Amino acid sequence: MKLGPIAKGVAILLAWVWLALPAGAAEKPKLTEPPKALTGIFLGNSYTYYNNSFHLKLRKLSQSLDEANKKKFYYKMMAISGSYLSNHALGAAGMIENFKHKKKKGPWGMVVLQGQSREPINPKKKDGFVEAARALDKTIRGAGSRTVFFMTWAYKKKPEMSAALEDAYTKIGNELNAYVVPVGVAFRLGLAENPDMDLYFKDGKHPSHLGSYLTAATFYAALTGKSPEGSKFTDGLPEDQAAFAQKIAWKAVKQYYGW
């Protein structure tokens, strides 16, 4: 995707701002062993469902790289526009505990929790985020499933959000002994490395098509401990964009987990 001279100049300036900021969370993740879950339900909002939902891209990406388990991957989404984690804490128990499907034998392999974009770092909302995470984690563990957090990204024009979000998700993951997928790290690294690869929708908050693909690639890398590089599944993106996302996803998870 080509940017005009002015837009490109702004993008480069933003990239330099991102590079000048402190990199990464102060706290390091305790869990670094990939869960290798073949089934999962994703609880989130528009960050999850934009661009026909990244969980569908994750399934196809996983199938393209794991022929042996191709028929075993099964993911569902439960997303509410603009929702906070507390909204899911009120009503997700049935889907976590009782959902049945022929491809899902027993409990979900994982239940993925994604908070509202600023919820974990908003002074008025962050306590509610932690309380909801604790409540959901209790439900998830009681159902025999595993809690996984979807670390979200900073707004395009507010890169200072990045370190705070990374730290907030890492802290709640460590408190609950839950795995954290560092999508926010991937967005930070991607924007810094090549601002021409626009990861954002025009509002500067939601993911672009490429941003959703990067999210899926980061989940694949984090869940399997393997690089998504070389996958032929591009979700209709130009090959150079898909290859960029695959490379950045692998770089992000290795950096975050210290692999």
Q: Which residues are CB-contacts of 42 (< 8 A; sequence separation ≥ 6)?
A: 48, 53, 55, 75, 76, 77, 78, 79, 112, 114, 150
Query: Do residues 29 and 215 lie in contact, with contact meaning Cβ atoms separated by under 8 Å?
Result: no
Q: How far apart are the first and last CA of the chain?
A: 32
pLDDT of residue 25: 58
Q: How, if at all, do strands 179-181 and 147-150 pair? A: parallel
**CA 232, chain centre distance (Å):** 21
- Rounded Cα distance between 185 and 20, Å, is 15
Query: 10-residue block means of pLDDT along the chain (259 residues)?
Result: 52 49 72 98 98 98 97 97 96 96 95 98 98 98 98 97 98 98 98 95 98 98 98 98 98 98
As given in the structure block, the two tokens for residue 133 are 């995470």
CB atoms within 10 A of CB 47: 22
Q: Which domains does the chain have, with CATH numbers?
A: 37-257 (3.40.50.1110)
pLDDT of residue 20: 46
Could you give the strand order of the β-sheet that contains 74-79, starting from the edge strand earlier in sequence?
74-79, 39-44, 110-113, 147-150, 179-181
As given in the structure block, the two tokens for residue 210 are 């490429």
Query: Do residues 245 and 213 lie in contact, with contact meaning Cβ atoms separated by under 8 Å?
Result: yes
Question: Residue 140: which of 102, 92, 180 has the closest Cα?
Answer: 92
pLDDT of residue 26: 76
pLDDT of residue 73: 97
As given in the structure block, the two tokens for residue 120 are 């974990």
Is this structure's pTM higher than 0.75? yes
As given in the structure block, the two tokens for residue 87 are 């909204």
Dihedral of alpha carbons 170, 77, 252, 154, sign:
negative
Query: Cβ-count burial of 202 within 10 angstroms (0-12 exposed, 13-18 middle, 19+ buried)?
Result: exposed
**DSSP state for residue 107 in the 8-state scheme:** S
Q: Which residues are CB-contacts of 98 (< 8 A; sequence separation ≥ 6)?
A: none
